[in-house]
Structure 1
Amino acid sequence: MSTSPRGRLVVAAVLFPLILASCTIDPSTGPVAISSATSSGVSLPGATFPSGAPSPTTASSPTVDTSRTTGSSAPSSPTLPSTTAVPAPRIRTSPADGADGISPTAPVTVRAQAGTFLRVALTNPEGRPVTGAFSAGRTVWTSTEPLGYRRKYTLTAGAVRPGAPRTESTSSFTTLSPLQTIYPSFFPNPTMKTVGVGQPMVIIFDKAPVDRVAAEKALSVKTVPAVKGSWFWWDDRTVHYRPSTHWKPGTEVTVSANLYGVHLGGGSYGEADRSMSVTIGPSRIATIDDATKQMQVFVDGRKVKTFPVSMGMDKEVTVAGQKISFVTPSGTYVAQEKYEVKQMSSASYGLPVNSSLGYDSRIPLAMRFSDGGIFVHAAPWSVADQGVRNVSHGCINLGPAAGRWFYDNFGHGDVMTVKGTSTRLDPSDGFGDWNISWDKWLAGSALA
């Protein structure tokens, strides 16, 4: 049978696509998946690396899928028509690519969906890797150290799936920029290893936190054995911690200020995380009764010494309209510091040195118990008055031998109680914490 030219054309049109359908393509030249993401971290398969960023807040961005394929590893059949391709893994990152104002303490996470990671790297602007860790199945990578403020981080990742194109991801984000940072300092300072049973734990901020609640929530005190205590805001920059009664000797105390990355109000953030540890030493308490003018000293509850004393004279003068009393206030004091020799001048509290009661002298074996200038010290010049009458400008006078014993045996955080005098110690004068009732102390917390 003969076929017309037009008939042959129809047959060719039908057969030509079938011939093409039977051809195959070399899978090694196929596409690869590429993804852009938004986290910065560094690690190689099975390993993690440190990041080199300062310490910490908590604002994160939503997880974003920025995957794109860059290659294929799935072979195709040489004879059968094409079948459904294996989809490439997807990479999701948090923070998102291009995100700004990210908290340096919010973990960076990268997730591989329908695949596993070959690598993940998060780097700071200098190229330093941020430490991170993979999940057991290498489907998630999470940063494990805080980032820095005001820094741009770059995140790269690669994920694979058998028979599917490889997926690559690159992204970046920037951490928040505080208007200012706030730094915490401690007393006892970190070099002090042992303090007395009366020592409050003190944190001093270099700038006043606007948000006291946020600041206080970032503070913690851990003790062994466990002791219940509370913070009390002394002023805008200072907060004290103590239990309801004196610390138990031997208690181990660790104070932490985990402020990095914490928003403290008004655009201020914590500058650093800091901590200090101290042990409570033996109970050393001196009690002075104005009626007897005797000091009794108790160590771990046992009376070990009794000394005659002379306290502040019962006088008051007025200088430039200011009243100056020499009476030693009654109340509970805590030792702050001590000096082998201390230069003392009446001019420090407004009384001219050249006045009839003025002085400017080198005082031996002096231990400070108040910011206002109450010291316990040796006073050879008043030995005849000690145990008989009060003749000092407010300090507690001891004889030379008693002064030496007291100086050698008392230290930071040890307690002195004075009773029977006509004035009361202002709780804000030095570590007057124990002159505040427990109920009022609890009310001084920002979390009350």
Structure 2
Amino acid sequence: MWVRIAGWCAVVVLVAAACTSSPAPPAAADKPEITVAPKDAADAVSPIEPIEVTATNAKLDSVTVTNPDGKQVAGALSADKARWTSAEPLGYGRQYTVKAVARGDDGKTARKTVSFRTVQPAQTVFPSFFPPPSITTVGVGQPIAVIFDKPPADRAAAERALKVSATPATEGGWYWRDDRTVHWRPKEYWKPGTKVTVDAKIYGVKLGDGMYGETDRTLNYTIGPAKIATIDDRTHQMTVTVDGQQVQTFPVSMGRPDSTTVNGKTISFVTPSGTYVAQEKYEVKQMTSASYGLPNDAALGYDSQIPLAVRISNSGIFVHAAPWSVADQGVRNVSHGCVNLSPEAGRWFYDNFGYGDIVTVSNTNTQLASTDGFGDWNIPWDEWLKGSALR
């Protein structure tokens, strides 16, 4: 009997002990912490990836990011003071130091110092535009040209960094003319009055083989009236329309129907048929036949100052005043390939046509090469789209 009672008493003691145990202590407050991206000692960091400083269980009191010269990097703090993000690109090949302080609700602080280095490019690539930024109004036929000073190894990356914005919206696409030059043109001629912005956002962009973009550039154009000069070799006449309305008709003389051979090379004087885009122009232009392989002292050679010359091709075709061929204009072709106008007509054309205005030639027996100047409009749209590095 005594043993059973003792056992019962032991059970009672155990139950009582369980019922009277002390409560668990309150959980400790979570400590404030700071994280930084990039991480400490990171190397070859992209200069265009934002620096992010994040506070956990705390609010940021201060964040400074400095380069070796002590210059601070601009940044923005979120409304809840939990995140700081850099607001400007960094330099290439530079060491940056991040120092951050955060404070928790309990008053405890956290501190963090991180240093990292940005990428050092093997080469940088610079983009230029044509027409240049000094030209702010262009014609309805103007393609946009971006010319890189070095061939980007990764054309697709370079093209992705380029953007054309237009108001009203305009369908168009990029086409690589060579390893340094890419053109953008609309599917159809620009609509007059269109506002165009070209952004080359290539700074910090990997362009392959250790190449990176040197700088971002932006270009703005306004599209002017639709000026189109149409030349028919059967009639030897130029008809000019502005915004669809005929405003002028001029007799012309184009390239003579001849050719000559120099050192085994055949030089044709025929003006090719096709769609040209007006480029630069000169009040007086020094022209020589030697520029395309015909000696100046040859029977058909020349070295002359030509008045009121508007370039329409890189191969040397101009629309210009030619007082020496007035009797032939409207009758026959006698030039070396240029489009001859009378002095009065040449002055009107020079004063009214410029970058991006259209000249079309028809019914001659040769065709303008799409690679000659802005021969872009001579490439069918389906073929043009295939010239993109992204297809």
TM-score range, shorter chain: over 0.9
Q: Quote the residue 2:10 is aligned against.
A: none
Q: Quote the residue 1:31 is aligned against.
A: none
Q: Quote the residue 1:122 is aligned against.
A: 65
**Alignment partners' CA distance in 2, 1:444 and 1:109:** 39
Q: Quote the residue 2:390 is aligned against.
A: 447
**Alignment partners' CA distance in 1, 2:390 and 2:269:** 39
Tell me how large the CA RMSD over aligned residues is: 1.2
Q: Quote the residue 1:282 is aligned against.
A: 225
Q: Quote the residue 2:252 is aligned against.
A: 309
The structural deviation recorded for 1:447 is: 1.2
Gaps of 5+ in 1: 1-81
Q: Establish whether residue 334 from structure 1 lines up as the match of residue 284 from structure 2.
A: no
Secondary structure of 1:381's counterpart equals helix
**Alignment partners' CA distance in 1, 2:158 and 2:79:** 36
Q: Which runs of 4+ in 1 moved over 2 A?
A: 82-88, 162-165
Pairs within 5 Å for 1:196-275: 196-275=139-218
Q: Quote the residue 2:79 is aligned against.
A: 136
Q: What amino acid is the match of 1:396?
A: V
Could you list the per-position Cα deviations for residues 225-263 of structure 1 after superposition, in whole angstroms to 9, with x for gaps in the alignment? Answer: 001100000000000001111111101110111101111
Q: Quote the residue 1:173 is aligned against.
A: 116
Gaps of 5+ in 2: 1-24
The answer on whether the counterparts of 1:317 and 1:325 sit within 8 Å (CA) in structure 2 is: yes
For residues 302 and 83 of structure 1, do their structure 2 counterparts lie closer, same or farther at Cα, with a shift above 3 Å needed? closer
Q: What amino acid is the match of 2:371?
A: S
Q: What amino acid is the match of 1:431?
A: F
The structural deviation recorded for 1:163 is: 2.9
Q: What amino acid is the match of 1:361?
A: S
Q: What amino acid is the match of 1:262?
A: V
Q: What amino acid is the match of 2:252?
A: V
**Alignment partners' CA distance in 2, 1:174 and 1:446:** 32
Q: Establish whether residue 160 from structure 1 lines up as the match of residue 138 from structure 2.
A: no
Q: What amino acid is the match of 2:127?
A: P
Secondary structure of 1:100's counterpart equals coil
Could you list the per-position Cα deviations for residues 140-197 of structure 1 after superposition, in whole angstroms to 9, with x for gaps in the alignment? Answer: 1111111111000001111112335321111100011111111111112111110001
Pairs within 5 Å for 1:25-424: 86-424=29-367
The answer on whether the counterparts of 1:86 and 1:164 sit within 8 Å (CA) in structure 2 is: no
**Alignment partners' CA distance in 1, 2:28 and 2:231:** 91
Q: What amino acid is the match of 1:368?
A: R
Secondary structure of 1:207's counterpart equals coil
The structural deviation recorded for 1:198 is: 0.6
Q: What amino acid is the match of 2:227?
A: R
**Alignment partners' CA distance in 2, 1:387 and 1:116:** 82
Normalising by the residue count of structure 1, what TM-score does the alignment of the two structures yield? 0.80
The structural deviation recorded for 1:84 is: 6.3
Q: Establish whether residue 437 from structure 1 lines up as the match of residue 342 from structure 2.
A: no
The answer on whether the counterparts of 1:185 and 1:204 sit within 8 Å (CA) in structure 2 is: yes
Q: What amino acid is the match of 1:166?
A: T
The structural deviation recorded for 1:279 is: 0.4
The answer on whether the counterparts of 1:85 and 1:164 sit within 8 Å (CA) in structure 2 is: no
**Alignment partners' CA distance in 1, 2:30 and 2:239:** 85
**Alignment partners' CA distance in 2, 1:166 and 1:369:** 70
Secondary structure of 1:264's counterpart equals strand
The answer on whether the counterparts of 1:87 and 1:164 sit within 8 Å (CA) in structure 2 is: no
**Alignment partners' CA distance in 2, 1:276 and 1:306:** 35
The answer on whether the counterparts of 1:88 and 1:164 sit within 8 Å (CA) in structure 2 is: no
Could you list the per-position Cα deviations for residues 2-48 of structure 1 after superposition, in whole angstroms to 9, with x for gaps in the alignment? Answer: xxxxxxxxxxxxxxxxxxxxxxxxxxxxxxxxxxxxxxxxxxxxxxx
The answer on whether the counterparts of 1:178 and 1:269 sit within 8 Å (CA) in structure 2 is: yes
Secondary structure of 2:208's counterpart equals coil
**Alignment partners' CA distance in 2, 1:249 and 1:87:** 64
The structural deviation recorded for 1:83 is: 7.6
**Identical residues among aligned pairs (%):** 62
The answer on whether the counterparts of 1:135 and 1:141 sit within 8 Å (CA) in structure 2 is: yes
**Alignment partners' CA distance in 2, 1:373 and 1:288:** 18
Q: What amino acid is the match of 2:387?
A: G
Q: What amino acid is the match of 1:366?
A: A
The structural deviation recorded for 1:85 is: 5.2
The structural deviation recorded for 1:87 is: 4.6
**Alignment partners' CA distance in 1, 2:362 and 2:272:** 8
Q: What amino acid is the match of 2:61?
A: L
Secondary structure of 2:207's counterpart equals coil
Residue-pair matches, total = 367
Normalising by the residue count of structure 2, what TM-score does the alignment of the two structures yield? 0.92
For residues 84 and 447 of structure 1, do their structure 2 counterparts lie closer, same or farther at Cα, with a shift above 3 Å needed? closer
